[in-house]
Amino acid sequence: MVTIETKPAQGAFAAQPQVSKPQPTASQAPQGLQVTERAVRRIRTAMEKEGISPEDGGLRLGVSGGGCSGLSYAIKFDTHPRERDRIYEFDGVRVFVDPKSFLYLHGMTLDYEETLMRQGFNFINPNSTRSCGCGSSFSS
């Protein structure tokens, strides 16, 4: 289940992309992604079950066209990053984002919720201007 919220997540921490090019100054640096500790724990557990090596692989976050509101979140495991990906690391868990998806995901927080009523990742995206009841679609 994927839900979309606009409030900040508690316990979130940010990571800077790992790139070989010189980094822009703090005033020029684009906002990265944040992943909460709960989400990191869940990603790590799922990667172990899928047999994905944390040294080589990671979680791929993306955006694709479609869905009730025009754009949909995509989340899957990948065995390695692609050439132009932004790579973030959170406590040993890598997250890959392609350049096109980064336009919609910068500043976003990925959280994980597990309650009696539901469980799943929450995309808390300040770039989302509208979402629908399905919980996996948004517009920017």
Domains and CATH numbers, the chain: 31-139 (2.60.300.12)
pLDDT one-digit tens code per residue, 105-136: 999 999 999 888 888 898 888 877 665 655 55
**CA 7 to CA 9: how far, in whole Å?**
6
The structure's pTM equals: 0.71
pLDDT one-digit tens code per residue, 42-91: 999 999 999 999 899 999 999 988 766 678 889 999 999 999 999 999 99
**CA 116 to CA 11: how far, in whole Å?**
21
- Residue 63's contacts (CB-CB under 8 Å, 6 or more residues apart) are 71, 72, 73, 74, 100, 101, 104, 105
Please report the pLDDT score of residue 115 as a whole number: 87
